[in-house]
Structure 1
Amino acid sequence: MSRFEDARILMYSHDTFGLGHLRRCRTIAHALVEEHRGLSVLIISGSTIAGAFDYRTRVDFIKIPSVIKLRSGEYTSMESHIDLQETLKMRQSIIRHTAESFQPDIFIVDKEPMGLRGEVEETLTYLKTRGTTLVLGLRDVMDAPHLLEAEWQRNDVLRKIGQFYDRIWVYGPPEFYDPLQGLDVPASMRAKMDFVGFLQRSVTPDPSRESRKAGDYILVTTGGGGDGADLIHDVVHAYKHDPSLTHKALVVLGPYMPTDQRRKLLRKSAKIPYIEVIEFDNRMEELIAGATSVVSMGGYNTYCEILSFDKPALIVPRVNPREEQLIRARRASELGLVEMLEPEEARDPARMAAALKNLPKRPAPSQSKQSLRLEGLPHISRIVGDILDVKRGSHLSLVKL
Structure 2
Amino acid sequence: MKIALLCSGLGNVYRGHEVFASDLFALLGDAIDITLFKGGGEPAAKQLVIGNIPRNADCLKHIHLAVSPKWAESVKESERGRIEGETFAYAALRPLLEGDFDVIHCLEREVCEILFSQRHLFQKAPKILFSNGGAIPARDLPQCDFVQEHTDLNLAYSAKGKSFMIPHGVDLQRFSPDTETDFRAQHGIPAEAFVVISVGAVSYGHKRMDYVVKEVAAVKDAYLLVLGQETPDTPEIKALARRLMGDRAVFTKLPHNELPKAYAAANVFALGSVFETFGIVYVEAMAMGLPVICSNHKNQRAIVKEGVFIDVEEVGALTRALCDTSRESFAALGQRGKEIVAAHYDLKVLKGQYLERYQAVAAAPVSLPSYSLRKKLTANAKNAVRRAAQLVLGRAE
Q: Which is richer in strand?
A: 1
Aligned to 2:198: 221
What is the deviation of 1:77? 5.2
Q: In the superposition, relative to structure 1, how do residues 171 and 365 fare at CA in structure 2: closer, same or farther (>3 Å)? A: farther
Q: In the superposition, relative to structure 1, how do residues 17 and 257 fare at CA in structure 2: closer, same or farther (>3 Å)? A: farther
1:94 to 80, 91, 96: 91
1:328 to 292, 295, 299: 299
Identify the range of structure 1 (368-377 vs 218-227) with the bigger mean alpha-carbon deviation. Answer: 368-377
Q: In the superposition, relative to structure 1, how do residues 357 and 119 fare at CA in structure 2: closer, same or farther (>3 Å)? A: farther
Structure 2 residue 40 is matched with structure 1 residue 24: no
Structure 2 residue 347 is matched with structure 1 residue 376: no
C-alpha deviations, 1:208-256, integer Å up to 9, x for none?
A: x99436997645224233446974333433444342x44x432214233
Size of the alignment, in residue pairs? 329
Structure 1-normalised TM-score?
A: 0.64
Structure 2 residue 282 is matched with structure 1 residue 288: no
Mapping 1:110-125, distance limit 5 Å: 110=107, 112=109, 115=111, 118-125=113-120
Aligned to 2:230: 255
Q: In the superposition, relative to structure 1, how do residues 339 and 258 fare at CA in structure 2: closer, same or farther (>3 Å)? A: same
What is the deviation of 1:107? 0.8
1:234 to 204, 207, 211: 211
Aligned to 1:314: 293
2:104 to 86, 102, 107: 107
Instruction: State whether residues 201 and 230 of structure 2, in contact with CA within 8 Å, keep that contact through their aligned partners in structure 1.
Output: yes
Instruction: State whether residues 237 and 349 of structure 1, in contact with CA within 8 Å, keep that contact through their aligned partners in structure 2.
Output: no
Aligned to 2:35: 41
Unpaired runs of at least 5, structure 1: 79-83, 318-325, 392-401
Identify the range of structure 1 (286-295 vs 348-357) with the bigger mean alpha-carbon deviation. Answer: 348-357
Q: In the superposition, relative to structure 1, how do residues 195 and 17 fare at CA in structure 2: closer, same or farther (>3 Å)? A: same
C-alpha deviations, 1:321-354, integer Å up to 9, x for none?
A: xxxxx44224346x4x222222322555742542
Aligned to 2:4: 9
In 1, the alpha carbon distance for the partners of 2:168 and 2:104 equals 20
C-alpha deviations, 1:52-79, integer Å up to 9, x for none?
A: xx9985345435222479764564555x
Structure 2-normalised TM-score?
A: 0.64
Which structure has the higher relative contact order (CA within 8 Å, separation 6+)? 1
What is the deviation of 1:276? 2.6
Identity between Structure 1 and Structure 2 (%): 9
Q: What letter corresponds to residue 341 of structure 1 in structure 2?
A: I
Aligned to 1:179: 154
Structure 2 residue 243 is matched with structure 1 residue 268: yes
Structure 2 residue 60 is matched with structure 1 residue 64: no
Aligned to 2:320: 351
In 2, the alpha carbon distance for the partners of 1:204 and 1:361 equals 21
In 2, the alpha carbon distance for the partners of 1:150 and 1:133 equals 20
In 1, the alpha carbon distance for the partners of 2:167 and 2:200 equals 21
Look up the SS of the partner of 2:313 in the other structure. helix
Q: CA RMSD in A?
A: 4.4
